[in-house]
Structure 1
Amino acid sequence: MSADLVLFTAMAPRTRRPQGEVTRGTTAPNRLRRVDRWIAATQRAALRAADRPLAVDLGYGASPVTAVELYTRLRAVAPGLEVTGLEIEPDRVARGTAFLAASGDAYPGLAFRRGGFELPVDRPPVLVRAFNVLRQYDEDAAWRAWDDLRARLHPGGVLVEGTCDEIGRRAVWVALGPEGPRTVTFAARVDALDRPSGFAERLPKTLIHRNVPGERVHAFLAEFDRCWAAAAPHSAFGPRARWAEAVALLARTQPVLARPPLGGRARRRLGEVSVPWRALAP
């Protein structure tokens, strides 16, 4: 048994009851496409950090569809990656298992099992995606969940935790390594975006109640709105052009942001911007 697995096994809670609360289970095809494509494009080092890399889709919902999509999208850049979908509700696990049984051998390395924040898997995952899971928790519980999940990652792994709207047009997520939060990413279908402060309702639970005057996240969204308004003339070239100009203006007015903004032009054209956690941290 490897040293990593010995440590991981020792850390696992000695209980059969999954840790966490059952979510509403709302899901739909392509709801998480924005975060999936971001993971595939920016987290390849993490996905390949282990000899037998494992990704966990934590709280995938009433349908296994988003776990299957995660598997398909990430295997395109990390062919040996295995994916385990974890759910607290036994009926949801049964649906995933039935899907695999009906699919024959179409998804080697994909599995579904019952579990929660304790991550009942056989080795430290290189990725944990937890989307629309912590919305029902209070801020203190969300911080504890982050700590628990980070502690169970592979040393080269990443936790991606966030939330999106019902059809995936607007999303915010945080990328965390074993050491702590790294970046916050805002992603939207920009032709449906009224103004950047509309992201406020999708902020992670560790930040959503901090969106008040005097907090960094509030100042950031207010400045993003100002830059969005200033970039309005670029709408003549389409909503993506306006988004790109607003992000460029934001980078010039916010010294804490990377220059160019994290992710560069390619990510901006997809309606994304990632900023360092320290830019928004409470």
Structure 2
Amino acid sequence: MRQRPIGTATRGTTHPNRLRRMDRWIADAQGPALRRADAPVAVDLGYGAAPWTAVELLDRLRTAEPRTAVAGIEIDPERVADAQPYAREGLTFVHGGFEVPLDTPPLLIRAANVLRQYDEDRVAEVWARLRARLAPDGLLVEGTCDEIGRRHVWVALGPEGPRTVTFATRLGSLERPSDLAERLPKALIHRNVPGEPVHAFLRDFDRAWATASPYASLGARQRWIAAVRAVSADWPVADGVRRWRQGEITVPWDALRPNGH
């Protein structure tokens, strides 16, 4: 007998292209693993009231590996039924939750705007459950974004645990890097207080952004690159200019790990 889905339904808000920044990063970071796999499978966990994010994830991952298949998993059976007209070769919709009811361990689980509604003390448990469902070289990407996809922050985790935190933004909409604090994932959002590493990082990034203000005349992208380069003098930055140009910065999880964890 199949177990009851684990978790609770999300609010379900979704818009086309909301997760494009996250998807671009995933296609770049996980593309090699998808290409190596005999049967590359990815999961859009908790896709919401409409299937757009699962449809778009398939299209974007197939730019990295055309054989990729995506399963959209939703705990609300009505949402699964409503999504069925969008199913096609390589795209399925499945009733389920954090147990990820697939026969093939996925190389990717994307859980965007799913844990926002949970208490902070549930995060480690959910992370562990999802990581246990990954293929050996799989990746869990869990994070939050605003309603139209201008600001994202996500944590990337392997089967062994959390690896990195990525901040991504539409640069033209940014006043200062700490604007991204409102989109910190559940594991970090309540830690944006003095004495915590994520607070110190955003404070230093704001200072670097202010110092880089002369670059604003060359455009927001050049200012962002200069600010990232400056903050990387004091903080480990896990990516390079190619990703910075996209309005991203990735930092090892251990640098931002909450105190006591």
Global fold match (TM > 0.5): yes
Contact 1:160–1:174 at 8 Å: present in 2 too?
yes
29, 37, 44: which one aligns with 2:16: 29
- Name the larger-Rg structure: 1
Offset at residue 92 of structure 1 (A): 0.9
Question: Does 2:93 correspond to 1:112?
Answer: yes
Q: Is the 8 A contact 1:49 1:126 kept in 2?
A: no
8 Å Cα contact 1:46-1:158 kept in structure 2: no
Partner of 1:267: 243
Give the alignment's TM-score, normalised by structure 2: 0.96
Instruction: Indicate the residue corresponding to 1:153 in structure 2.
Output: 134
TM alignment of 1:61-72, pairs within 5 A? 61-72=48-59
1:49–1:156 contact (8 Å) kept in structure 2: no
| Distance in 2 between residues matched to 1:251 and 1:76, nearest whole Å | 31
Residues 18, 149 of structure 2: 8 Å contact kept: yes
C-alpha deviation, 1:263, in angstroms: 2.5
Post-superposition shift, 1:49? 4.5
3-state SS of 2:137 partner: coil
Partners of 2:255 and 2:2 in 1: how far apart?
Answer: 38
1:169 to 124, 128, 150: 150
Matched, 1:85 2:66: no
Q: In the aligned structure 2, how far is the partner of 1:49 from the partner of 1:280?
A: 31
Equivalent position of 1:181 in the other structure: 162
Does the Cα contact within 8 Å between 2:131 and 2:157 map onto a contact in 1? yes
- Alignment deviations for residues 225-269 of structure 1 (CA, whole Å, 9 cap, x no partner): 110110111000000011000000000122xx0xxx322111111
Aligned Cα RMSD in Å? Answer: 1.1
Amino acid at match of 2:189: I
Name the amino acid aligned to 1:93: V
Structure 2: stretches of 5+ with no match in the other structure: none
AA partner of residue 158 (structure 1): L
CA–CA distance in structure 2, aligned partners of residues 108 and 69 of structure 1: 14
Q: Does 1:58 align with 2:45?
A: yes
Contact 2:73 2:97 in 1 (8 A): yes
- Which residue of 2 is the match for residue 281 of structure 1? 257
Deviation at 1:45, TM superposition (A): 2.5
- Show the counterpart of 1:206: 187
What is the CA–CA distance in structure 1 between the aligned matches of 2:63 and 2:188, rounded to whole Å? 33
Matched, 1:247 2:228: yes
Q: How far apart, in 2, do the equivalents of 1:129 and 1:48 lie?
A: 18
Counterpart in the other structure of 1:5: none
Instruction: Give the gaps of 5 or more residues in structure 1.
Output: 1-13, 101-106
Instruction: Kindly indicate whether the alpha-carbon contact (under 8 Å) linking 1:49 and 1:157 is maintained by their aligned counterparts in 2.
Output: no
Q: Match for 1:225 among 175, 191, 206?
A: 206
In structure 1, distance between residues paired with 2:36 and 2:253: 23
Asked whether the 8 Å contact 2:177–2:206 carries over to 1, the reply is yes
8 Å CA contact 2:164–2:252 kept in 1: the answer is yes
**Aligned residue pair count:** 258
